[in-house]
Structure 1
């Protein structure tokens, strides 16, 4: 049996007529930048997130970068972030000329450990980026308290977490801004690059809208140095068709995750560590990530037997060559480094079949029986 990490074909086939019709409408109307589709998506995603403003941008990486600029981060400032995340989190900080300050994670949830944040705050700290990794929100209340105490902005990196909740609150409700990625593999994916920023802050929201269009307001009058980072109409049209299905897709992911966990506990017991979900969280399982011994050998075995897997992430950001000048060394963030050596993500998408999951677990069981 072949089990892909992700299969978007079935989703497309189920929405093909509606998607193609929406794309044809955009082509016929011949308005391709910041038109009605973008406005609708911005409004709908903001309302979904219980926020007042949605700002569509070119991708999730730009969403982070523009958010930090909107929050007033400048060259030389420090921004606290986890090192167990995709590069874009820290890349957005560094491109401003600010300094990423990496802290360790909670080994259970893989999210930033609030207990480590306070000790990392200095006079230069301007913001915190909690990453809601794999679809589970970070522990936001203590993070919000630290931010309030030290007058820091919070930019929630929710690239993997649209639809997730924390103690009944949506992404963005406890942050200054929150950023979404609509990369095709995400729970809500476009057919190319796309992203969005949400915020309740009128001033920050307006600043970010100006930044995304070369810093101009009105057109051709430039008061700040901005970027060309706009969500285009074609991607927004696709996302508008998909968006009403997001909650159902997230529900199916949760059902698939529960089935994986049941099977793994039954077949492998304590040989694998299944995802830990905080009781107060609504985890939307962008990834289903387990901890295992002999991770690399398991991945190779699964590949040989037709099962695709991914490692998010094999090398922590504080040990990446591009950040060598920051002076971090192996052992500085032990939980992060341990996770990088043990995590493996199994196939996860709403259309995943039970028999596919059963085969994945069967192959994992077979690997450990042969050890």
Structure 2
């Protein structure tokens, strides 16, 4: 529920649709036949394929759904290990645990706030089946140093691009450098298909052939030629995966239509995000206690979120900053992401905590600022001024307590 007294709320939607977009989607609602699995699905998948310059892309109901399919395609067996960053959204981990994998938590690089490649190297064993590289916050992880090792050991690399669509590393788009990848079109992502949606990319052509059946209740054509189109049934149900039932992870035609219009805007939307992020970072550069993630050469950060580490003083911490912004300036911030090993669910499932020092240190002192792309310039400038006033006020409070 929205807090009406706030001047800047944490928005539940990242975008506003233009009248042109709405008119386009209205025509689909009125005239599309069928309303699902039709020409707009094919067009959306084709356009997305062209955007990332890869084939074997399939629209699904969410990035979490894409990861469920990927977990199945890995053919995981009990005891197989999957390395996952402890600092990420829970959907990056649950599908692999559900498919009997042992989750191995990896720490983050404190400078970039994404998975630490050196920590991954320490945690690879003979049982390692896959590594989930999460391009968190819109920042593409440079995992080139482990690609050859993974190929040698037949370890699959899964790129979780739920937050990084449009980001790249040395000109290569996130999601195009591993064996599998997933993208999210959730309401708060850099583009959205009416609140929910996702895309899956599969590098291996044979595995890619299994995706459509997994996505849509096992529906496929009969292999033999039929004398009558209605016999023996309108279509077959089959799945070329032993002991596996399919899912229903489809997108409607109007959702795919939204994906078509949003994909055209993606680069410009990301440009706006980058410009605004740089403006805030530059405006606060004299407040060394606020530390934004470091960007290395060759990376393009698309700032799905704008998070920072607040270096605590002796008697002042992150919570004081969030509280001051909320109570005095009516600005709502957030903290992300709760280390997965702290959640009750993972504890109950017997997934043990492991030492992830940087994950704990960052989470316990981080703040994420409201950053929806449709925020009016007036509010955006108010956000910057309020941050300056709040940071200075906390500095003054610290000086008085010395």
Q: 1:82 to 1:9 in 2, by over 3 A?
A: closer
Corresponding residue number in structure 2 for 1:355: 381
Corresponding residue number in structure 1 for 2:339: 316
Q: CA deviation at 1:9?
A: 8.5
Corresponding residue number in structure 1 for 2:397: 370
**1: CA distance between counterparts of 2:19 and 2:318?**
38
Deviation per CA, 1:207-239, whole angstroms, max 9, x where unpaired?
222211123433432234211111221211112
Pairing partner for 1:307 from 318, 331, 356: 331
Deviation per CA, 1:113-142, whole angstroms, max 9, x where unpaired?
111112222232211100000000112202
Please provide the CA RMSD for this pair: 2.0
Q: CA deviation at 1:280?
A: 1.2
Matched-pair contact (CA < 8 Å) for 2:321–2:391: no
Task: Answer with 211-220 or 170-179: which moved more.
Answer: 211-220
1:227 lines up with 2:230 in the alignment: no
Q: 1:214 to 1:5 in 2, by over 3 A?
A: same
| Structure with more helix by fraction | 1
TM-score by length of 2: 0.85
Unaligned runs of 5+ in 1: none
Secondary structure of the 2:303 match is coil
Matched-pair contact (CA < 8 Å) for 2:309–2:365: yes
1:265 lines up with 2:285 in the alignment: yes
Q: 1:64 to 1:327 in 2, by over 3 A?
A: closer
Matched-pair contact (CA < 8 Å) for 1:301–1:367: no
Pairing partner for 1:337 from 342, 356, 360: 360
Corresponding residue number in structure 2 for 1:246: 266
Secondary structure of the 2:210 match is helix
Number of equivalent positions: 365
Corresponding residue number in structure 2 for 1:37: 40
Matched-pair contact (CA < 8 Å) for 1:5–1:347: yes
**1: CA distance between counterparts of 2:14 and 2:368?**
21
Unaligned runs of 5+ in 2: 1-5, 222-234
1:191 lines up with 2:194 in the alignment: yes
Secondary structure of the 1:370 match is helix
